[in-house]
Amino acid sequence: MISLHRLAHADEPFHLNPDLIVSVEAHPDTVVTLTTGTRSVVMESPEEIAEAIRAWRASVLGAAMRDLPRRNAGLTLVRAAAGETNGMQS
């Protein structure tokens, strides 16, 4: 989730799932449009929102990478004679 502030409520942040964002426009206030059709006018600039989304995605991917099981052994090269398939000659 990213934290944003509605234009009229600077001291009350709200959290938004960035996967719901369809567009972020500045005319001149920043308007965030969601997949639901809801629009919110926020204090943050489009650049600040884009950076918050990048940071959130990086944190999600970093957490996913930490949770992946690690391989203990490296790759092994196996050589086969010409014409052999899976240890059987053709």
- CA dihedral sign, ordered 61, 63, 69, 72: positive
Residue 72 belongs to some domain of the structure:
no
C-alpha dist (Å) from residue 13 to 4, 5, 37: 5, 5, 21
Q: Is residue 83 assigned to a domain?
A: no
Tell me, yes or no, if the pTM score tops 0.85. Answer: no
pLDDT of residue 87 exceeding 70: no
Q: Residue 40: inside a domain, yes or no?
A: yes
Transcribe 24-44 into DSSP letters.
EEESSSEEEEETTS-EEEESS
Q: In what order do the strands lie in the sheet with 21-26?
A: 21-26, 30-34, 39-42
Q: What is the pLDDT of residue 88?
A: 57
Domain enclosing residue 35, as ranges: 2-51
End-to-end CA distance of the chain: 57
**18 domain residue, yes or no:** yes
- Asked if residue 68 belongs to a domain, the reply is no
pLDDT in tens, 63-85: 888 877 776 666 677 777 776 66
